[in-house]
């Protein structure tokens, strides 16, 4: 580590340094503040400075800021303290933060302090010193160098992909490969190259808790290397330690979720974004950044390769990777791996036409699974194979209903129903968390006969256990896995063959390497076909492809693997493409629609969101925001009228949004930048009339 700054003798003339401190967007403070330091401080140095009556953590950004107010040095306060022993944050890191702040319309201070480990701000001098000592000890112990693991012989596809990856290009790579085509093996080989060259590797996954398998695989492959993870499941101390190991160059490989894109790494040589289409890469509150997009930016900035991998890329990435001759942007290099490794083949898709099945008598609900599908599952049970039944709705039933007076279990605080959870006999709001015991009788009319309407995973599990008494039925969803370790336990019992039929939400569709599953069924996938969000179809297609990938992973059973779709719309083009596992065809359909509708990737969007005590107040602010910036919006900017959000009230707060669209990304950003101070000002004025919060969401994922 470099000598600490305080070792320097103080110099005669104090220098002026620009320090970025945490300041909420709404404070209007967008750049660094000026302080005095007795000695020069390198940019990137972490310091503590007085701010108002507090002392806060900040990062030295620059030493001369021409735009700063011309304060005389007598008016400037001195830096209170320099965090000793911490190397300055590198220039590329600061540039990344600067870009992220300006692109996602947040203050530099908020962005900077958000991505630093919280403990860096909280520890006092002695605690900090102790941490550094512990770190030093850790660094002394080199990880055990185990013998080199045996590597599989690469498939031809993998070889080709790796050859392309070795070629010099400054374009990002899109590795488009079916589930089980061996993408991870490609990441690992490319990572090996970087490690051999003395570089660090950043591997990103959407949800690290769901992928302990990847962690194990990486650890096994690179035994002898220091591998650290960075995600929200770590304790603050672990997070600081792993971050420091990365920042000081002592960690070779960082495995992390979206936040890890901001990890300072002095020797970074490769970034991998696995399942790049996954919405988890977009932060949904505060600074709403896309870690996938920032990874691409960072790779360009640091002149290193980035691999985006997926079986079903986001349409944005797909469009970027599509050659110009095929109507794409040709900005990425596309690597294709269509076949599964070995004899693994994708399951046969069976579209089960529900319109041909007689409707149940009035007052009766249809059986959860059509007879044909049930029969197919019974066959699996007899053969000792497993089935996965997908239903993307947790709880027992989405609503309780009184047939006498029409009462429904609404949430008093949200515009949503409360879900009936039978296990603990509660009515729970999935939006605000409001929970009550299930009433014995209708709260409005006293009728004792209130009934669940519809079906969630809990009910499906119960019903399947009833219809299939010979089967062991299990369930994995957010309710089951609330407790630490519960998910791992459930997965282990599936792997051990202790479950015949597994009911689950999308949680189980992702990444798991189930060996004995030969049937996957989506029992209610139609809702996404008609959702108001233009990305719903894209997400549904990805989910179904991913779910299908859970079946037939073992060559032994792959031959008779099936993916069942229960649908009232059997001829829908989405299912037609799914039947052939033809992502390219699906993407082409979607791109055509998007182009006609002027939606991403053919246009850039931003969403101005507002939350207020009343819907009128929320919309009033948005209307004002639009009017006041009308003059800034040239012909390239289209501002839509404000509307309530799909769930307009959550926890007694009304929400509205206003879409801003442009065919030119740069024009959109310029507009947002110019509008920001006006909106800030207007928001201040609207506080009294009930505005609570507002934010700009650039490249929003939820519409």
Tell which one of 400, 429, 587, 606 touches Zn ion (CB under 5 A).
Answer: 429
599: its two tokens: 């939606």
Q: How near is the Cβ of 227 to ligand ADP at its closest, in Å?
A: 18
Residue 183, both tokens = 């993408």
Cα 390 to Cα 242, 352, 379, 535, 619, distances in angstroms: 36, 15, 18, 20, 38
- Segment 503 to 542, residues that bind ligand ADP, using CB under 6 A: none
Based on the shown chain and the rule CB under 6 A, indicate whether residue 149 belongs to the binding site for ligand ADP: no
Residues 172-231 contacting ligand ADP, CB under 6 A = 177, 179-185
Question: Whole-number minimum distance, CB 649 to Zn ion, in Å?
Answer: 8
151 binds, among Zn ion, ligand ADP, none (CB under 5 to 8 A by kind): none
Residue 155 or 590 having the CB closest to ligand ADP: 155
Q: Let me know if 355 is exposed, middle or buried by CB neighbors in 10 A (0-12, 13-18, 19+).
A: exposed
- Beta carbons within 8 Å of 366's beta carbon, 6+ residues apart: 357, 359, 360
Asked if the bond preceding 601 is cis, omega within 30° of 0, the reply is: yes
Select the binding partner of residue 257 from ligand ADP, Zn ion, none (C-beta < 5 to 8 A, by kind): none
634: DSSP letter:
-
Q: Which does 676 bind (CB under 5 to 8 A by kind): Zn ion, ligand ADP, none?
A: none
C-beta closer to ligand ADP: residue 346 or 354:
346
Residues 37/71, Cβ–Cβ less than 8 Å: no
Q: Does 404 bind Zn ion (CB under 5 A)?
A: yes
Q: Characterize 536-547 residue by residue with b for buried, 16 or more Cβ atoms within 10 angstroms of its Cβ, and e for exposed.
A: ebbbbbbbbbbb
Distance CA 184, CA 341 (A): 12
> Which H or E element spans position 21?
strand 15-21
**Out of 20, 21, 259, 414, which residue is the one contacting Zn ion (CB under 5 A)?**
414
Per-residue mark of binding to ligand ADP, 338-357 (x: CB under 6 A): ---x----------------
Among the listed residues 402, 499, 626, 639, the single contact to Zn ion using CB under 5 A: 402
* Residue partners of 252: CB distance under 8 A and separation at least 6: 195, 200, 201, 222, 225, 226, 227
- Looking at beta carbons only, is 27 or 652 nearer to Zn ion? 652
DSSP string across 315-347: HHHHHHHS-GGGTS---SEEEEE-SPSTT--PP
Query: Which of the listed partners (Zn ion, ligand ADP, none) does 154 bind, with a CB threshold of 5 to 8 Å by partner kind?
Result: ligand ADP
| Residue 312 makes contact with ligand ADP by CB under 6 A | no
C-beta of residue 231 within 8 angstroms of C-beta of residue 263: no
Query: What are the phi and psi torsion angles at 673 (to 5°)?
Result: -65, -40
CA angle 22, 27, 32 (to 5 degrees): 50
In angstroms, the CA 21 to CA 336 distance is 45
Distance CA 293, CA 320 (A): 12
Find which of ligand ADP, Zn ion, none residue 447 binds, CB within 5 to 8 Å per kind. Answer: Zn ion
Q: Which region among 228-236, 339-347, 444-452, 580-588 touches Zn ion (by CB under 5 A)? A: 444-452
Nearest approach, Cβ of residue 471 and ligand ADP (Å): 27
> Shortest distance, CB of residue 434 to Zn ion, whole angstroms?
5
Token pair listed for 630: 């009308």
Pick one of ligand ADP, Zn ion, none as the site partner of residue 183 (Cβ within 5 to 8 A by kind): ligand ADP
Interface stretch with Zn ion, choices 24-32, 389-397, 446-454, 584-592 (CB under 5 A) = 446-454
Shortest separation between residue 154's beta carbon and ligand ADP, angstroms:
5
Q: In terms of C-beta density within 10 A (0-12 exposed, 13-18 middle, 19 or more buried), how is residue 630 classed?
A: exposed
Indicate which single residue of 154, 357, 576, 667 sits in contact with ligand ADP (rule: CB under 6 A).
154
Do the strands 33-37 and 15-21 form a parallel or antiparallel pair, or are they unpaired?
antiparallel
- Return the half-sphere exposure (C-beta side, CA atoms, 13 A cut-off) of residue 651: 7
Closest CB 428 distance from ligand ADP, rounded Å: 35
25 vs 179, beta carbon nearer ligand ADP? 179
Select the residue interacting with Zn ion from 138, 197, 405, 486 (CB under 5 A): 405
Going by the DSSP 8-state scheme, the letter that residue 690 receives in this structure is T
> Least CB distance from residue 220 to ligand ADP, whole Å?
10
| Site size for ligand ADP (CB under 6 A) | 14
Give the Cα separation of 236 and 251 in Å (integer): 18
427 contacts Zn ion (rule: CB under 5 A): no
Rounded-to-integer distance, Cα 696 and Cα 660, Å: 10
Q: Which two tokens stand for residue 323?
A: 């050659």
Complete DSSP assignment for 499-562: -SEEEE-GGGTSS---SSEEEEEESS-GGGGG-SSTTHHHHHHHHHHHHHTTSS-SHHHHTT-E
Please identify, using beta-carbon distances, which residue of 310 and 392 lies nearer to ligand ADP: 310
Q: Which is nearer to Zn ion, 113 or 442 (CB)?
A: 442
Q: Which of Zn ion, ligand ADP, none does residue 414 bind to, with CB < 5 to 8 Å depending on kind?
A: Zn ion
Of 80, 87, 353, 434, the one binding Zn ion by CB under 5 A: 434
| Beta carbon nearer to Zn ion, 414 or 618 | 414
Among 155, 314, 490, 505, binds ligand ADP (CB under 6 A): 155
| Binding partner of residue 442 among ligand ADP, Zn ion, none, CB cut-off 5 to 8 Å per kind | Zn ion
User: What is the three-state SS of 638-669?
Assistant: EECCCEEEEEEEECCEEEEEEEEEECCHHHHH
Among 47, 432, 617, 639, binds Zn ion (CB under 5 A): 432
Residue 218 CB, shortest distance to ligand ADP, in Å, is 12
184 binds, among ligand ADP, Zn ion, none (CB under 5 to 8 A by kind): ligand ADP
**What residue 525 binds from Zn ion, ligand ADP, none (CB within 5 to 8 A, per partner kind)?**
none
Q: Which is nearer to ligand ADP, 218 or 523 (CB)?
A: 218
Dihedral angle of Cα 433, 437, 440, 444, to the nearest 10 degrees: -40
Q: Does 683 sit near ligand ADP (CB under 6 A)?
A: no
Q: Taking CB under 6 A as the rule, which mask of x and - marks residues 108-147 in contact with ligand ADP?
A: ----------------------------------------
Question: How near is the Cβ of 213 to ligand ADP at its closest, in Å?
Answer: 8
Find where tokens 């008609």 sit: 530
Q: Taking a C-beta distance cutoff of 8 angstroms, is the pair 397, 454 a contact?
A: yes
Q: Are strands 173-177 and 333-337 parallel, antiparallel or unpaired?
A: parallel
Of ligand ADP, Zn ion, none, which one sits near residue 405, judging by CB under 5 to 8 A according to partner kind?
Answer: Zn ion
Nearest distance from C-beta of residue 500 to ligand ADP, angstroms: 23
Give the nearer residue to Zn ion in terms of CB position, either 407 or 534: 407
**Residue 434 binding result from ligand ADP, Zn ion, none, given CB thresholds of 5 to 8 Å by partner type:** Zn ion
Interacting residues toward Zn ion by CB under 5 A: 402, 404-405, 407, 411, 413-414, 429, 431-432, 434, 442, 444-445, 447
Residues that bind ligand ADP in the complex, under the rule CB under 6 A? 152-155, 158, 177, 179-185, 341
């Amino acid at each position: 580590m470099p000598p600490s700054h305080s070792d320097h003798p103080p110099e005669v003339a104090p220098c002026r340094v620009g320090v970025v401190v945490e300041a909420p967007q709404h404070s209007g403070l967008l750049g660094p503040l000026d302080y005095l330091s007795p000695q020069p401080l390198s940019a990137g140095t972490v310091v503590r400075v007085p701010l108002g009556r507090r002392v806060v953590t900040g990062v030295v950004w620059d030493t001369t800021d021409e735009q700063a107010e011309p304060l005389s040095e007598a008016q400037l306060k001195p830096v209170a303290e320099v965090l000793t022993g911490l190397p300055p944050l590198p220039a590329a890191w600061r540039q990344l933060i600067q870009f992220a702040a300006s692109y996602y319309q947040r203050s530099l201070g908020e962005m900077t302090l958000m991505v630093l480990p919280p403990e860096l701000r909280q520890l006092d001098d002695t605690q900090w010193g102790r941490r550094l000592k512990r770190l030093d000890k850790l660094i002394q112990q080199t990880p055990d160098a185990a013998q080199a693991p045996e590597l599989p012989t690469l498939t031809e596809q993998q070889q080709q992909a790796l050859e392309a990856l070795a070629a010099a290009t400054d374009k990002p790579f899109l590795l488009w490969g079916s589930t089980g085509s061996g993408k991870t093996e490609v990441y690992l080989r490319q990572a090996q190259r970087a490690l051999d060259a003395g570089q660090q590797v950043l591997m990103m996954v959407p949800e690290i808790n769901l992928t302990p398998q990847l962690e194990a695989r990486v650890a096994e492959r690179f035994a002898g290397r220091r591998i650290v993870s960075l995600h929200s499941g770590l304790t603050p101390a672990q997070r600081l330690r792993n971050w420091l190991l990365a920042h000081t160059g002592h960690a070779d490989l960082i495995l992390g979720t979206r936040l890890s894109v901001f990890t300072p790494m002095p020797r970074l040589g490769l970034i991998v974004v696995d399942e790049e289409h996954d919405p988890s890469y977009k932060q949904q509150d505060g600074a709403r950044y896309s870690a996938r997009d920032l990874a691409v930016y960072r790779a360009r900035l640091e002149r290193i390769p980035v691999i985006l991998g997926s079986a079903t890329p986001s349409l944005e990435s797909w469009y970027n990777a599509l050659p110009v001759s095929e109507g794409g942007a040709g900005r990425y290099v596309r690597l294709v791996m269509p076949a599964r490794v070995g004899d693994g083949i994708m399951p046969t898709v069976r579209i089960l036409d529900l319109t041909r099945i007689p409707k149940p008598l009035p007052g009766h609900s249809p059986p959860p699974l059509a007879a044909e599908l049930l029969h197919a599952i019974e066959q699996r049970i007899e053969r000792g194979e497993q089935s996965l039944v997908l239903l993307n709705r947790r709880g027992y039933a989405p609503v309780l209903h009184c047939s006498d007076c029409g009462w429904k279990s609404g949430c008093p605080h949200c515009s949503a129903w409360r879900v009936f959870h039978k296990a603990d006999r509660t009515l729970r709001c999935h939006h605000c968390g409001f929970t009550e015991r299930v009433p014995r009788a209708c709260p409005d009319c006293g009728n004792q006969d209130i009934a669940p309407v519809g079906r969630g995973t809990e009910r499906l599990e119960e019903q399947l256990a009833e219809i299939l008494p010979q089967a062991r039925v299990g369930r994995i969803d957010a309710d089951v896995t609330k407790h630490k370790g519960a998910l791992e336990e459930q997965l282990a019992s599936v792997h051990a063959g202790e479950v015949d039929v597994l009911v689950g939400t999308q949680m189980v569709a992702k990444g798991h390497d189930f060996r004995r599953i030969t049937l996957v069924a989506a029992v209610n996938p139609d809702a996404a076909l008609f959702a108001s969000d233009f990305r719903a179809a894209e997400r549904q297609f990805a989910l179904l492809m991913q779910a299908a990938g859970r079946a037939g992973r073992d060559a032994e059973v792959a031959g008779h693997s099936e993916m069942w779709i229960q649908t009232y719309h059997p001829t829908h083009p989405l299912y037609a493409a799914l039947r052939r596992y033809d992502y390219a065809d699906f993407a082409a359909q979607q791109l055509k629609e998007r182009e006609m509708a002027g939606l991403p990737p053919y246009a850039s969007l931003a969403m101005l969101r507002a939350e207020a005590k009343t819907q009128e107040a929320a919309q009033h602010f948005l209307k004002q925001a639009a009017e006041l910036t009308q003059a800034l919006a040239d012909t390239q900017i289209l501002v839509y009228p404000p509307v309530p959000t799909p769930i307009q009230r959550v926890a007694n707060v009304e929400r509205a949004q206003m879409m801003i669209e442009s065919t030119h990304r740069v024009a959109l950003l310029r507009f947002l930048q110019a509008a920001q101070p006006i909106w800030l000002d207007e928001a201040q004025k609207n506080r009294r009339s009930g505005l609570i919060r507002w934010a700009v969401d650039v490249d929003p994922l939820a519409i």
